[in-house]
Amino acid sequence: MQDSKNVDCSGLAQLSLDLKRLGSTRCQRRDVLLAASGFKASRLMLTDMGIEAVRQLGHTFGFGWAAGRTSFALRLDTGKGGFSNHMTRVTGFDGRREVFLAKNGATASRLLAAHANHTMIGRALRIPTCCTQFYLDKAQAAAKHAYDYSGLIGMPRTHTASVLSNTYCRYFDRGIVDHFPCRHHCRRTREVAKQSAMTLRRVDPSLLTELVAAGTFVYSDRDGVFWLNDIDGVAGKPVIHAQTARESNLARHLARASQVQIVLGSERILRVYGTHDEVHPRSSIFDNVSVVSFRPNYGDEEVLFGDRSGLNNDQFDPMTRPVEGYGN
């Protein structure tokens, strides 16, 4: 795999435009560009139409691909706004197939043949070994949650982590890394994210800006994922910036909240302060959620924007529902 500083960006900007024109999601564009640049391999689940689009793009822009024969149907997660972490094998159904992308076809074919080798695949996808082990160790627990590992990720004591490592934003078609980190403050994940960001900045800086998601994120296994504006509350501005669910108890409380407080000392405790009326209690405690504030730190802004400084939610156009993407 190539280092970001050695990436030949010729043509990759046009590749990104073509992917956008085809209706691909931000994360699909990210994965194709990183694979085509040679930085890492990528794995996607695509329909036959999507695979044909990849075939044509691979021929035009010179990257490799390999598609499996088995079809899968996506199983939508509860409260995740159409997002899926789980799929089942199907027959006689035009579903999605596993596709590996790499700098060349030989590498993509080797990865497809070894798709059950988690060590090899993790290395090719630039997933840190600690996170690959986390994925394997927590498989049984994740199976009880439709294979969504988000609620199992290790929580930093301060409930803060680098914006580069934000994987909760996957539910809003954002994020620089795609794997589930072993901890939100995993140093190796942040390093991979840093290198990915540097590659994307050279290829398509506007896409990089769209992928970054700073702010406080509230994750619930069944009640939804929420991207908050300001946990302290701002007059005239709702607490919720974007959300995957609207009808859950947590969604209703956050929608009318005037302030949200993270209770330190516990991994998954959130206190929501509401209006002073009989319908909505002054405060409610939710102890089955994970809360993390993802902020630029330790030089993140320089990695993301060069000489740019400052990062806030007003730069983004958040999605309240996921875009299906090309091949659907």
Q: Is the pTM of this model over 0.95?
A: no
Q: 236 is written with which tokens?
A: 């005239």
C-alpha to C-alpha distance for 114 and 93, rounded to whole angstroms: 24
**What is the number of other CB atoms lying within 10 angstroms of the CB of residue 202?**
17
pLDDT tens, residue by residue, 277-314 = 433 445 566 777 888 999 887 677 677 766 544 444 44
Based on the number of CB atoms within 10 Å of its own CB, is 35 exposed (0-12), middle (13-18) or buried (19 or more)? buried
Based on the number of CB atoms within 10 Å of its own CB, is 21 exposed (0-12), middle (13-18) or buried (19 or more)? exposed
Q: Where do the domains of the chain lie? A: 4-214+294-315
* C-alpha closest to that of 33 among 210, 206, 196, 175: 196
**What is the number of other CB atoms lying within 10 angstroms of the CB of residue 125?**
21
pLDDT tens, residue by residue, 10-51 = 689 999 999 999 999 999 999 999 999 999 999 999 999 999
- pLDDT at residue 1, rounded to an integer: 40
H or E element at residue 294: strand 289-295
Q: Specify which residues 270 forms β-bridges with.
A: 262, 286
Residue 9: partners with Cβ closer than 8 Å, 6 or more residues away: 37, 202, 203
